[in-house]
Structure 1
Amino acid sequence: MTATGLSVGRPVDAPPARRFRLTTPVLLLGIAGLVVLLSVARVVTGANDITSAGTVSAALGLAVPIGLAGLGGLWSERAGVVNIGLEGMMVLGTWFGAWGALQFHNPWAGVLAGAIGGALGGAVHAVATVTFGVDHIISGVAINIVGLGFTQYLSKLVFDGMPGGGAKQSPPLPSLPTLGIPGIGDPLRSLEARHWFLLSDVAGILRGVTQNVSSFTILAILLVPLTFYLLWRTAFGLRLRACGERPVAAESLGVNVYLYKWLAVLVSGFLAGLGGAFLSIVAAGIYRDGQTGGRGYIGLAAMIFGNWRPGMLAGGATLFGYTDALQLRQGGASVHALLLVVALLLAAVAVYQLVRQRRTRAALFTAIGAIVVFVVFALTHTVPEQFTSFTPHLTTLLVLSLASQRLRMPAADGLPYRRGQTT
Structure 2
Amino acid sequence: MTAPTTATDVNQPSLEHAPRTGRRMSWPVLLLVIAGALALTSIVRLITGANGITNVSQMSTALQLAVPIGLAGLGGLWAERAGVVNIGLEGMMILGTWFGAWAGFQWGPWTGVLVGIAGGCLGGLLHAIVTITFNVNHIVSGVAINILALGATRYLAPLAFEGHQGGSAKQSPPVDSLGHFSIPGLSGWLDSLNDQHWFFVSDIAGLLGGLVTDVSWLTLIAVALIPATWWILWRTPFGLRLRSCGENPIAAESLGVNVYKYKYLAVIISGGLAGLGGVFLSIVANPFYLEGQTSGRGYIGLAAMIFGNWMPGGLAIGAGLFGYTDSLNLRGGSANVHALLLLGALLLVAGAIWLVIRKKYVKAAITFVVGALVFAWYAGTNEVPNQVVSATPYVVTLVVLALSAQRLRMPKADGMQYRKGQGK
Q: TM-score range by the shorter chain?
A: over 0.9
Aligned to 1:74: 77
**Distance in 2 of aligned mates of 1:201 and 1:250:** 48
Q: Deviations over 1:187-225 (max 9, x none)?
A: 333332232322322222222111111111111011011
Aligned to 1:309: 311
Matched, 1:321 2:314: no
TM-score of the superposed pair, with normalisation by structure 2:
0.92
Aligned to 1:246: 248
Deviates most, 85-94 or 370-379: 370-379
AA in 2 matched with 1:343: A
Matched, 1:278 2:280: yes
Partner SS for 2:269: helix
**Which of 21, 44, 47 is residue 47 of structure 2 equivalent to?**
44
Partner SS for 2:294: coil
**Distance in 1 of aligned mates of 2:395 and 2:172:** 32
What is the Cα deviation at residue 84 of structure 1?
Answer: 0.5
Aligned to 1:292: 294
Matched, 1:147 2:186: no
Q: Deviations over 1:138-177 (max 9, x none)?
A: 1111100010111111111111110011110011111112
Partner SS for 1:80: coil
What is the Cα deviation at residue 346 of structure 1?
Answer: 1.7
Matched, 1:163 2:195: no
Deviates most, 194-203 or 257-266: 194-203
Aligned to 2:86: 83
Aligned to 1:236: 238
Q: Deviations over 1:346-372 (max 9, x none)?
A: 2222222322x3323322222222222
Deviates most, 324-333 or 345-354: 345-354
> Contact (CA 8 Å) 1:327, 1:334: kept in 2 or not?
no
Correspondence 1:170-189 to 2 at 5 A: 170-189=172-191
What is the Cα deviation at residue 256 of structure 1?
Answer: 0.7
Partner SS for 1:390: helix
**Distance in 1 of aligned mates of 2:319 and 2:163:** 37
**Which of 96, 100, 111 is residue 97 of structure 1 equivalent to?**
100
Partner SS for 1:329: coil
Tell me, which stretches of 5 or more residues in structure 1 are unaligned?
1-18
The alignment yields a C-alpha RMSD, in angstroms, of 1.4
What is the Cα deviation at residue 376 of structure 1?
Answer: 1.2
Aligned to 2:9: none
Deviates most, 221-230 or 202-211: 202-211
AA in 2 matched with 1:374: F
Partner SS for 2:329: helix
Aligned to 1:5: none
Over the matched positions of the two proteins, sequence identity in percent amounts to 61
**Distance in 1 of aligned mates of 2:52 and 2:168:** 36
> Contact (CA 8 Å) 2:100, 2:113: kept in 1 or not?
yes
Aligned to 1:15: none
What is the Cα deviation at residue 134 of structure 1?
Answer: 0.8
What is the Cα deviation at residue 179 of structure 1?
Answer: 2.1
AA in 2 matched with 1:75: W
**Distance in 1 of aligned mates of 2:110 and 2:355:** 48
> Contact (CA 8 Å) 1:176, 1:215: kept in 2 or not?
yes
Aligned to 1:374: 375
Q: 1:361 to 1:20 in 2, by over 3 A?
A: farther
TM-score of the superposed pair, with normalisation by structure 1:
0.93
What is the Cα deviation at residue 33 of structure 1?
Answer: 1.2
Aligned to 1:400: 401
> Contact (CA 8 Å) 2:23, 2:407: kept in 1 or not?
no
Partner SS for 1:328: coil
> Contact (CA 8 Å) 1:68, 1:271: kept in 2 or not?
yes
> Contact (CA 8 Å) 2:96, 2:276: kept in 1 or not?
yes
> Contact (CA 8 Å) 2:95, 2:275: kept in 1 or not?
yes
What is the Cα deviation at residue 32 of structure 1?
Answer: 1.3
Aligned to 1:138: 140
Aligned to 2:340: 338
AA in 1 matched with 2:397: T
**Distance in 2 of aligned mates of 1:298 and 1:28:** 24
Matched, 1:388 2:385: no
What is the Cα deviation at residue 342 of structure 1?
Answer: 1.2
**Distance in 2 of aligned mates of 1:327 and 1:65:** 17
How many residue pairs get aligned? The number is 403
**Which of 354, 370, 385 is residue 352 of structure 1 equivalent to?**
354
**Distance in 2 of aligned mates of 1:196 and 1:95:** 44
Tell me, which stretches of 5 or more residues in structure 2 are unaligned?
1-21
What is the Cα deviation at residue 20 of structure 1?
Answer: 7.0
Aligned to 1:260: 262
**Distance in 2 of aligned mates of 1:102 and 1:261:** 34
**Distance in 2 of aligned mates of 1:97 and 1:377:** 43
**Distance in 2 of aligned mates of 1:21 and 1:280:** 36
